[in-house]
Each structure stands twice: as structure tokens, then as C-alpha cells.
């Protein structure tokens, strides 16, 4: 009889421990918040034999000579460098997509994941999801998350167009990113 009672108690303890889909919430107040400032250059190349960005969808109703008419979707895997020259040190890459989302002025809705492959942030990334009015020389995008050392990231990226080729769409953009993370 004692064995049966002990088995019943163990069953109830085990059922309670494994029967919940959540655990006690722990506040993040105990973790120190960090602010990291990053500066790098994004090289978006649509031209040549080995482009880093490609058009994957274009609506058949769009007319005009624009490189990215309304409704176009591009996917990219762009290098991130320390300096504006493509030959400068590569610190990671940006992967994601952007969609031409405005009928009036050139604007993109962009999702970028900046993955870092060197230095202190090797293996970490930050995610940006925002509207990008590309004709503005300076603009701001929202940092909405991250992983690795940038877990729970939030912040903003200030963009400044360093170079753009209006004929083929190649661009170099300077990013100054303020990341708040734990």
C-alpha cells in the first residue's frame, strides 16, 4: 500500500512539472543593458556575372523603366565591410529581401539580417525590418531583434548613401547602427 501511495505522489509531482507549457517569468532587470554602436558599409550589387542581389519577382502589370518598379521583390546576400571599398575588410554579410512598396516615390520595405563573421560579434546578428525611402540620402531603419551577443536587440540604423549607380542599381550604403541589447 505504501508503494502505491508513493507512486501516486510521484505521478502527481511529475504531471504538474511536465503539464505546463510555461515557467515562472523572470524579469530582465537583473541583466545589464548594453549599448553598442556599429559602423559598416553595405555593398548591394545587382550587375555583373556574380550579383549579390537578384530580382526574384516582378509584376507583369508594372510599366516604366525603373530598376525596381512597384511590386518587385529582390533577395540579397551582400558583403558588409569596414570601409566603403569592396576590398576593405569583410566583417559579415547581410541577407534578406526588399520589396518595392511605393507607387509614387522609390521606397522599399526591407528585412535585413546582418550576420557578423569576425571579431567580438562573430556568430551574432541583428535584424532590421523597416521602410526604406531609398531616394533620401539619409534615412533611418528600425532594429527589431538579434541573436548571439545581440539577443533581444532593439535600436535604429542610420543610413547614408555613399554611392549609387542609377543605371544598374549598384549601391554602397554606410550604416551607423545603435543597438541596445543584453
Average pLDDT value over all residues in the chain: 88
Give the residue from 172, 159, 166, 164 showing the smallest Cα distance to 132: 159
Looking at residue 34, its pLDDT comes to: 94
User: Domains in the chain, start-ordered, CATH in brackets?
Assistant: 31-181 (2.40.480.10)
Record the pTM. 0.82
Give the per-residue pLDDT at 135.
84
Mean pLDDT of 96-103: 89
- Encode pLDDT of 121-167 as tens digits: 999 999 999 999 988 889 999 999 999 999 999 999 999 999 999 89
Note whether 4 and 12 are within 8 A (CB).
no
Residue pLDDT, tens place only, 5-34: 655 565 655 555 555 676 777 666 667 899
What number is the average pLDDT over the span 50-77?
85
pLDDT (average), residues 72-79: 96
Which helix (H) or strand (E) element contains residue 38? strand 34-44
Amino acid at each position: 500500500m505504501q508503494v502505491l501511495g508513493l507512486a501516486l505522489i510521484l505521478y502527481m509531482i511529475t504531471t504538474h512539472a511536465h503539464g505546463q507549457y510555461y515557467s515562472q517569468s523572470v524579469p530582465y532587470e537583473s541583466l545589464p543593458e548594453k549599448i553598442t554602436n556599429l559602423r559598416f558599409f553595405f555593398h548591394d550589387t545587382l550587375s555583373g556575372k556574380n550579383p549579390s542581389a537578384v530580382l526574384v519577382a516582378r509584376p507583369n502589370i508594372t510599366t516604366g523603366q525603373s530598376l525596381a518598379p512597384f511590386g518587385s521583390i529582390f533577395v540579397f546576400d551582400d558583403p558588409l565591410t569596414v570601409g566603403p571599398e569592396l576590398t576593405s575588410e569583410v566583417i559579415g554579410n547581410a541577407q534578406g529581401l526588399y520589396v518595392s512598396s511605393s507607387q509614387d516615390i522609390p521606397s522599399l520595405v526591407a528585412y535585413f539580417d546582418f550576420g557578423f563573421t569576425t571579431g567580438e560579434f562573430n556568430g551574432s546578428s541583428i535584424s532590421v525590418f523597416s521602410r526604406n525611402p531609398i531616394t533620401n540620402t539619409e534615412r533611418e531603419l528600425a532594429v527589431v531583434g538579434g541573436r548571439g551577443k545581440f539577443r533581444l536587440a532593439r535600436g535604429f540604423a542610420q543610413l547614408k548613401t555613399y554611392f549609387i549607380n542609377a543605371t544598374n542599381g549598384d549601391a554602397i550604403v554606410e550604416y551607423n547602427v545603435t543597438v541596445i541589447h543584453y
